[in-house]
Amino acid sequence: MEKAQAYIRIHELREILNEANRLYYVENSPTLSDYEFDMLLKELDGLEKEYPEYISADSPTRRVGSDLKKEFEQYPHRYPMLSLGNTYDISEVQLFADRASKGIGNSFTYSCELKFDGTAICLTYRNGKLFRALTRGDGSVGDDVTRNVRQISNIPQSLTLPAGFIPTSDIPAPWPQEFEIRGEIYMPWAAFDRLNDERIEEEEQPFANPRNAASGSLKLIDSRMVANRGLECTLYHMLGENLPFSTHDQALKAAEDWGLPVSDKRRICRDIEEIEDFINHWDIERKNLPYATDGIVIKVNELPYQEELGYTSKFPRWAVAYKFKAEQALTKLISIDYQVGRTGAVTPVANLEPVQLSGTVVKRASLHNADQMEQLDIRIGDYVYVEKGGEIIPKITGVELSQRTADATLPRFPEFCPDCGTALIKDEEEAKSFCPNQTGCPTQIKGRLVHFLSRKAMNVIAGDATVEQLFNKALVWNVADFYDLKTEHLLMLDGWKDRSAGRFIKSLQESRKVEFDRVLYALGIRYVGEATARSIARHFGNIDAVMDASVEDLLTVDDVGQVIAESVHDFFTEESNREIVSRLKAAGLKFDMGETPQKLSDGLEGKTIVISGNFSISRDEMKALIAAHGGKNSGSISGKTAFLLAGEKAGPEKLKKADSLGIRVLSEEEFMDIIGGSGEAESADSENGIHTSKGVQLSLF
Ligand code: IVH
């Protein structure tokens, strides 16, 4: 490759890999398989080696992907949190072993362990108590998810003394005063299936695999929701100053003795043959495990040798991962269906000649979108490779061109909605085609009606068949029509009697008590799931404020990014949606959070404020206080930020950013002074002229 071409390709690869990292770690919706990612990374690494003048410290070959989210406080890692080098072949494991021997001789052993497919976590225990939990973040700072981690049942809040240990004043406990232990938070298959069943029932996008479900759940803003997700933890790497162990295995055994969850599916191996046996054993047996694994981790067991081998900027030299190959099956593509979902997205789904794959018979597989079909260059009648790799719906990963016959036909992605015939529009960013006929496309209408009644929304007892009948008999067209239904209408439905009609009407009546956040969720605004609806409802307090909110206003809500903000704004710009809301209001549904926050002053009017750290009141209370004084809360610092309100342990990243943009940092005390002492503005103090909040404000801004 010529130098100029190499330069272009290097930049192209970095862009693809950085975006893939973002989708994997932040959005939890990967677009590349691990294998595809690793192959592109390998290509980039090769080019950077050939053209060292183009090496850059922020290349994905030198940096781990980042999972940092603006909603969490961030703390630096005491020891960098790195990734592992991947191998796909035993000969590459042999190369790792050879490199290790070259550095440390031959008298060492390996600890072989399962590679759990979840999301990395770093726990700090101080004086035997769980002190902090950080995600990997970008490897040097992590998101503080301690509150969420406390909801995971097999992570002890306090360590337990091993049997037979007698505390003395010299040695009060067997564990060091402070240590870190790292591991993986994962979602067992049973919990994953349950969660996805619920999501499908609610017409929410199911998680593609347990890894995404685990990392999505760990980053939920509402920690109460984490408790119900069935997450578990396994720990595999202890770190600290002067730890009293000479091997990794001893450290893990001690951790187990102190009550920490450590996997027993590990083995000390002496040579490559034993490693290979371990790999082969688990490549089969992993299918019987209750959780997902994606490989084996091979670590040098002796800690002094680990230290001697050290680290690169991205990986330890004393460990490597062997990745299992995803199971594949080859089968014939019979036809492609184009399915319209509740939000109007049209998804191509392949009908396959039934084939056995990882214990189940596969008949259908996802083709994602038109771009994917084009990339695969797929034809009806082709033999295609199908992979499961944790996804609920298997996907087509390739075409066996050698088996293509002359009568194979090129599929054509429809230009018109297969349901209502409206011309489809393509959302370039999502590479998806949508039917824009939200108010007239039967599938979308019925989907919205079903969603509105569903358990987590209005919780009205009715199945899809009821909605189908109500729609077909033109009794219900939009969600507000439900509340106009009378018993005589319901008696028109096949098989309905007074009792069933009465039950339905009663259930509708009950739904009037459903809280505002769930009503907002029930409206079925694209991208607004349960948690987002709750954040929006809490932030604005009532539907009028939500309907009048600009995209900018919406962006200040926890959990809301550009895509969601635009979606909510677009939804309420639509006159027909406003009309539905006003009919639902008239029907008596709850459209506010109950107590309207009292307006205390307009001292912070027009000011956007970012808070970070802990205060003498909760963060939510602090946000409410800002709002009560007319200020806007924002999660991230920008040129528009009026000031950063920094409490105890404020995030170092935020402080750095404020400093670099010259944004003023206020302490809680200074802030309270500005708004008028206790926060009960227009209080005795301000009336007595001790604090004239506006006066102080003038000097500040
Ligand atoms: S040891 C310095 N052991 O795999 C890195 N990692 O792809 C030490 N993982 O970042 C990591 N199971 O999140 C280790 N038994 C195991 C593991 C494991 C899963 C994860 C971990 C790591 C990633 C690399």
**Residue 317 pLDDT greater than 90, yes or no:** yes
Partners of residue 83 on adjacent β-strands? none
Domain shared by 99 and 166, yes or no: yes
**Residue 620 pLDDT greater than 90, yes or no:** no
> What CATH number does the domain containing 627 carry?
3.40.50.10190
- Positive or negative torsion for Cα 173, 179, 180, 181: negative
- The answer to which of 10-24, 471-485, 541-555 has the lowest mean pLDDT is 10-24
Closest CA to 28 of 74, 69, 73: 69
Backbone angles phi, psi at 243, to 5 degrees: -70, 140
Query: Quick one: which H or E segment has residue 80?
Result: none
Q: Which atom of ligand 1 is nearest to the CA of 83?
A: 10
Q: Which two tokens stand for residue 699?
A: 């000097």
- The answer to which of 270-284, 476-490, 602-616 has the lowest mean pLDDT is 602-616
**Residue 360 pLDDT greater than 90, yes or no:** no
Which of the 8 DSSP states describes residue 402? G
**What gap in Å lies between CA 592 and CA 621, rounded to an integer?**
18
How many folded domains does the chain comprise?
A: 6
Print the domain residue range for 262: 74-323
The predicted pLDDT at position 37 comes to 84
Average pLDDT along the chain: 88
User: Going by DSSP bridges, is the β-strand pair 608-612/632-634 parallel, antiparallel, or unpaired?
Assistant: parallel
Domain shared by 139 and 267, yes or no: yes
Q: Which two tokens stand for residue 115?
A: 């590679």
Q: Which two tokens stand for residue 615?
A: 């205060």
Domain shared by 215 and 304, yes or no: yes
113 lines ligand 1 (CB under 6 A): yes
pLDDT above 90 covers a percentage of the chain that reads 59
Domain shared by 90 and 143, yes or no: yes
The predicted pLDDT at position 532 comes to 84
Q: Which pLDDT band holds residue 202 (cuts at 50, 70, 90)?
A: low
Q: Which two tokens stand for residue 389?
A: 């790799």
Query: Quick one: which H or E segment has residue 555?
Result: helix 551-555
Mean pLDDT of 230-234: 97
Question: What digits encode the pLDDT tens for the residues 125-149?
Answer: 999 999 999 999 989 999 999 999 9
**What gap in Å lies between CA 458 and CA 640, rounded to an integer?**
39
> What CATH number does the domain containing 460 carry?
1.10.150.20
Count of Cβ atoms closer than 10 Å to residue 597 Cβ: 11
**Residue 158 pLDDT greater than 50, yes or no:** yes
The amino acid at residue 623 is K
Q: Which residue puts its alpha carbon closest to atom 12 of ligand 1?
A: 115
Domain shared by 548 and 648, yes or no: no
Domain shared by 166 and 230, yes or no: yes
Domain shared by 82 and 148, yes or no: yes
**Residue 698 pLDDT greater than 70, yes or no:** no
Q: Which pLDDT band holds residue 694 (cuts at 50, 70, 90)?
A: very low
- Residue 149 CA to ligand 1 center (angstroms) comes to 18
Mean pLDDT of 471-484: 96
**Residue 697 pLDDT greater than 50, yes or no:** no
**Residue 474 pLDDT greater than 70, yes or no:** yes
Contact 652, 141 (CB under 8 A): yes
Residue 565 domain flag: yes
Pick 638 or 393 by higher pLDDT. Answer: 638
Tally the residues of the chain.
701
- Residue 93 CA to ligand 1 center (angstroms) comes to 16
Q: Which residue puts its alpha carbon closest to atom 13 of ligand 1?
A: 120
Q: By three-state DSSP, how is residue 219 classified?
A: coil
**What gap in Å lies between CA 113 and CA 34, rounded to an integer?**
19
- Positive or negative torsion for Cα 649, 655, 656, 659: negative
Residue 423 domain flag: no
- The answer to which of 322-331, 346-355, 486-495 has the lowest mean pLDDT is 322-331
- Residue 57 CA to ligand 1 center (angstroms) comes to 23
> What CATH number does the domain containing 31 carry?
1.10.287.610
Any idea which residues carry the catalytic annotation? Answer: 115
Closest CA to 72 of 658, 517, 653: 653
**Residue 392 pLDDT greater than 70, yes or no:** no
Mean pLDDT of 509-519: 95
How many Cα atoms occupy the beta-carbon half-sphere of 322 within 13 Å? 25
Domain shared by 186 and 252, yes or no: yes
> What CATH number does the domain containing 113 carry?
3.30.470.30
Ranges 504-513, 555-564, 661-670, most confident: 504-513
Contact 391, 206 (CB under 8 A): no
Angle made by CA atoms 686, 688, 692, in degrees to the nearest 5: 35
The amino acid at residue 588 is G
- Can you state the angle between helices 272-285 and 90-104, rounded to 10 degrees? 140
**Residue 451 pLDDT greater than 50, yes or no:** yes
User: Going by DSSP bridges, is the β-strand pair 293-300/110-116 parallel, antiparallel, or unpaired?
Assistant: antiparallel
> Token pair 């018993």 is at which residue?
487
**What gap in Å lies between CA 444 and CA 419, rounded to an integer?**
9
33 lines ligand 1 (CB under 6 A): no
Question: Which residue among 25, 84, 262 has the greatest number of ligand 1 atoms within 8 angstroms of its CB, and so is best to mutate?
Answer: 84
Domain shared by 125 and 202, yes or no: yes
Domain shared by 170 and 313, yes or no: yes
Q: Which two tokens stand for residue 413?
A: 């992605």
Q: What is the 3-state secondary structure (H, E, C) of 600-656?
A: CCCCCCCCEEEEECECCCCHHHHHHHHHHCCCEEECCCCCCEEEEEECECCCHHHHH
Residue 591 domain flag: no
Query: Quick one: which H or E segment has residue 659?
Result: helix 652-661
Residue 684 domain flag: yes
- Residue 212 CA to ligand 1 center (angstroms) comes to 16
The predicted pLDDT at position 203 comes to 56
Q: Which residue puts its alpha carbon closest to atom 16 of ligand 1?
A: 115
Question: Which residue among 184, 186, 249, 314 has the greatest number of ligand 1 atoms within 8 angstroms of its CB, and so is best to mutate?
Answer: 184
- Residue 292 CA to ligand 1 center (angstroms) comes to 14
**Residue 700 pLDDT greater than 70, yes or no:** no
End position of a domain, from candidates 348, 372, 403: 403
Domain shared by 266 and 305, yes or no: yes
Residue 603 domain flag: no
The predicted pLDDT at position 461 comes to 84
Whole-number CA gyration radius for the chain: 29
pTM for this predicted structure:
0.56
The amino acid at residue 657 is K
- Residue 96 CA to ligand 1 center (angstroms) comes to 16
Domain shared by 390 and 488, yes or no: no
Q: By three-state DSSP, how is residue 280 classified?
A: helix
- Using CA atoms of 592, 596, 602, 603 in order, give the dihedral in degrees to the nearest 10: -110
Mean pLDDT of 495-515: 93
Partners of residue 351 on adjacent β-strands? 335, 364
Residue 437 domain flag: no
Closest CA to 108 of 266, 305, 260: 305
User: Going by DSSP bridges, is the β-strand pair 432-434/345-357 parallel, antiparallel, or unpaired?
Assistant: antiparallel
**What gap in Å lies between CA 321 and CA 475, rounded to an integer?**
59
> Token pair 């979606």 is at which residue?
567
**What gap in Å lies between CA 541 and CA 597, rounded to an integer?**
8
User: Can you state the percent helix, strand and coil of the chain, rounding each to 5?
Assistant: 40, 20, 40
Count of Cβ atoms closer than 10 Å to residue 607 Cβ: 18
Q: Which pLDDT band holds residue 597 (cuts at 50, 70, 90)?
A: low
Q: By three-state DSSP, how is residue 428 classified?
A: coil
Q: Which residue puts its alpha carbon closest to atom 7 of ligand 1?
A: 84
Closest CA to 593 of 548, 539, 553, 521: 539
Q: Which pLDDT band holds residue 23 (cuts at 50, 70, 90)?
A: confident
End position of a domain, from candidates 528, 555, 586: 586
382 lines ligand 1 (CB under 6 A): no
**What gap in Å lies between CA 389 and CA 387, rounded to an integer?**
6
Which of the 8 DSSP states describes residue 415? S
pLDDT above 70 covers a percentage of the chain that reads 92
The amino acid at residue 639 is G
Angle made by CA atoms 540, 427, 362, in degrees to the nearest 5: 105
Residue 168 domain flag: yes
Contact 352, 384 (CB under 8 A): yes
Residue 60 domain flag: no
**What gap in Å lies between CA 389 and CA 287, rounded to an integer?**
11
82 lines ligand 1 (CB under 6 A): yes
